[in-house]
Amino acid sequence: MPHFDPQTLQIVVAGVVGVTLLLQVILLFAILIGVRKAAMTVRDDINEIRDSVTPLVTEMRQLLVHIGPKIESTTDDLAVLTHSLREQTVSVQSTVTDISERARHQAGRVDFMLTTALDKVDHAGAIVNNSVAKPLRQVTGILAAIRAVVETLRARQAPVPKPPANGSKGDSGMFI
């Protein structure tokens, strides 16, 4: 093995370190170029996105500026309408309750009137029955009596039975 003097060894190490540094510089420069290309590509993509999104954002902003007051007005109108509907619902509910109570009251009155009228009709029927039926029965009885008298007078008089011959008195001696 050859023997190197320390100075030569230092020069060789310094040369290797220099070459390594030079390689690192070249590698870093290549990375720098790659990152710069990527950054330019990203910047171009961002610019394209910005160019396509900017009109959309502008139109949306204009639309919101234009529609904003209408939305607020519609919201206010809906709030007023909802409040009005609540008031009308309460009013209708109150009216329905009132009508229902009146209908119940009137139904009670009609029931009472019909019950009273039917009781009076029943009472009148009883009075008519007593007033007409009783005299009618009496008249029927009188007519039946007159008819019986007339029939009796019209009918021939039946022959008088003969007295029994053997000294027996009527049917009292007969044995059955």
**What is the model's pLDDT at position 160?**
56
**What is the model's pLDDT at position 19?**
96
Query: How high is the mean pLDDT in each 10-residue block of the chain (176 residues)?
Result: 80 94 96 96 93 89 87 90 92 92 92 91 84 81 88 71 59 57
**What is the model's pLDDT at position 172?**
57
Contact criterion met (CB below 8 Å) for 123 and 130: no
**What is the model's pLDDT at position 90?**
92
- Coil, strand, or helix at residue 176? coil
| DSSP 8-class letter at 122 | H
Whole-model pTM: value is: 0.37
**What is the model's pLDDT at position 4?**
73
